[in-house]
Amino acid sequence: MQAADDLSLILEAARGAGALAETFLKHGTESWDKGGNSPVSDADLAVDAFLEERLRALRPDYGWLSEETRDDKSRLAAPRTFLVDPIDGTRDFLRGRSGWAISIAVVEDDWPIAAVLFAPALGYEYTARQSGGAALNGKPIRTSGRSALQNARLCIDPDILRSRHWQGPACDTAPKPNSIALRMADVARGAADATFDGRSTNEYDTAAGALILTEAGGVITDTMGARPRYNKPRAKERDLIASASLALHEELRPAFAATLESRRRR
């Protein structure tokens, strides 16, 4: 029952982290660009420190990989590793929007076994445990199960579908929060049918969302069909696609791959 114990632990920690983040919204926060047009704030750092102190005190043998902490490769030899994005969707957080979340996953043997995605501004607590299903605010969730790409609701920038580079059929768009994990969670709860990102993503961006999605019946791979692996030496993935069903995924994967190739050739 270690996964269940870990899930309870990270849920309690996420709630505390969410409360801390909201104090910065109330009293003010400072932000700066840490390079590559990637914003960070004093709230990100404070939440990261809070989570590391809380979680590692109770699981000292677990590894740690977080957006705001220097990577310690000792995590590779740990039995399990925390993958943490203290504030996923910092841009929305700084703008006072709702599309940000506390993202925490516990990874064992390259896949998450427990995950929490807490979005205080939305009042959403997503949880998942390997082979135990996914839930939103304690109630089980499932994807839409949609099998056809035509007119599917894609959680992406609308400009992609309007571009001459889009290689798929006509589709609709769903609201797109800044947090990539929340986009994956929207697919998990049936608010969207799929989402994709043609950029390099960090493992801590998607680990919690990947477990929530797959436990809700969804599928996540890259354009080649490979499922992401977590807690790798180079903790990166690229061109990830998250879909509500395998049938939809197999239709979206080549359309997305062709779109990316067309855009990169311009």
Check which CATH number belongs to the domain holding 171 and give it: 3.40.190.80
| Domain identity same for 34 and 62 | yes
For residue 184, tell me if it sits in a domain. Answer: yes
| Domain identity same for 119 and 54 | yes
For residue 118, tell me if it sits in a domain. Answer: yes
Give the dihedral sign, CA 20/236/215/180. positive
Instruction: Give the span between the Cα atoms of 194 and 186, in whole angstroms.
Output: 9
Sheet holding 194-202, edge to edge: 172-173, 153-154, 194-202, 236-243, 219-221
Which among 93, 119, 140 is the end of a domain? 140
What pLDDT score does 177 carry?
Answer: 95
| Domain identity same for 165 and 250 | yes
The closest alpha carbon to 181, from 155, 206, 153, belongs to 206
> Binding residue per annotation — 85?
yes
> Binding residue per annotation — 205?
yes
| Domain identity same for 114 and 178 | no
CATH code: domain of residue 106: 3.30.540.10
For residue 146, tell me if it sits in a domain. Answer: no
DSSP 173-191: E----S-HHHHHHHHHTTS
For residue 28, tell me if it sits in a domain. Answer: yes
| Domain identity same for 212 and 250 | yes
| Domain identity same for 22 and 123 | yes
What pLDDT score does 148 carry?
Answer: 97
| Domain identity same for 29 and 129 | yes
**Distances from the Cα of 82 to the Cα of 44, 52, 146, 175, 259, angstroms:** 17, 9, 32, 29, 34
For residue 37, tell me if it sits in a domain. Answer: yes
For residue 53, tell me if it sits in a domain. Answer: yes
For residue 147, tell me if it sits in a domain. Answer: no
| Domain identity same for 16 and 123 | yes
> Binding residue per annotation — 30?
no
pLDDT in tens, the chain (266 residues): 677 899 999 999 999 999 999 999 999 899 999 877 789 999 999 999 999 999 999 999 999 999 999 999 999 999 999 999 999 999 999 999 999 999 999 999 999 999 999 999 999 999 999 999 999 999 999 999 999 999 999 999 999 999 898 999 999 999 999 999 999 999 999 999 999 988 889 999 999 999 999 999 999 999 999 999 999 999 999 999 999 999 999 999 999 999 988 877 76
Q: Which domain holds residue 49?
A: 2-140
| Domain identity same for 121 and 245 | no
Which among 78, 109, 140 is the end of a domain? 140
| Domain identity same for 178 and 242 | yes
What pLDDT score does 116 carry?
Answer: 98
What pLDDT score does 266 carry?
Answer: 63
| Domain identity same for 19 and 122 | yes
| Domain identity same for 108 and 188 | no
Q: What total of structural domains would you count in the chain?
A: 2
For residue 217, tell me if it sits in a domain. Answer: yes
